[in-house]
Amino acid sequence: MKPAFSSPKEKGDENAGSMRPSRTNYFRMKTKQYITTKPWATPPTPATTPAMIQAFWQRLFHERTTQAELDWLHGFGNMVYADTYASPFIIRLYHNDPKDKRVAYLSVTDGCVEWRFGIKAAGFNQCPVVTDPRLIEWLDSLFWWYTAPEAQQNSGRLADMQRLVAERMRTIKKKQGLWKRT
């Protein structure tokens, strides 16, 4: 009978040239278990709907303009630019201060609303898709000011709009069954 193991060439190399692992290594390999978590199958859903984007497009088209501005908002998101003749229709939120390089793009891709966030120089295609729920909620609340009626826009209460967006996000999570997991 031939031995199952060949002799080690160096000290500490017990399994060198072996046909099968040693008994201790064999049992160690069997007892190792890896627990893998399943990633979320779908990213968070924005509270903004394709119908809201369509309504905003119609408003810009009827006004024959490509820009909208919130005079009372001093910071990111006080300017919106959208080319009504471009396909796909992409809404760009930004700050009119040239030092602020941030930009957010809102579009509808395959029937789903999608936010992208990055810098102005990168452009729409280079900006990553937003998957952070808090950032989506903040961007939605900024965009909703442009779709709100004039009376609500003049009140300038950002907290009210953020509350409306938060309620809409909770409703979406309940419909998707995600509220149980958070």
Q: Say if residue 168's pLDDT is above 50.
A: yes
| Contact by Cβ (8 Å): 113, 106 | yes
Helix axes of 158-176 and 133-147: crossing angle, nearest 10 degrees: 120
β-pair partners for 174: none
pLDDT in tens, 89-127: 999 999 988 899 999 999 998 888 999 999 999 999 999
Q: CB count, 10 Å around CB of 96?
A: 10
Q: Say if residue 7's pLDDT is above 80.
A: no
| 3-state class (DSSP) for residue 24 | helix
Residue 10 is predicted with a pLDDT of: 53
Residue 150 pLDDT grade (very low, low, confident, very high; cuts 50, 70, 90): low
Average pLDDT over residues 132-161: 72
Closest by CA to 91, choosing from 158, 146, 10, is 146
Count, residues in the chain: 182
pLDDT in tens, 17-70: 555 555 555 555 444 455 555 555 566 778 888 988 998 899 889 888 888 887
Q: CB count, 10 Å around CB of 93?
A: 23
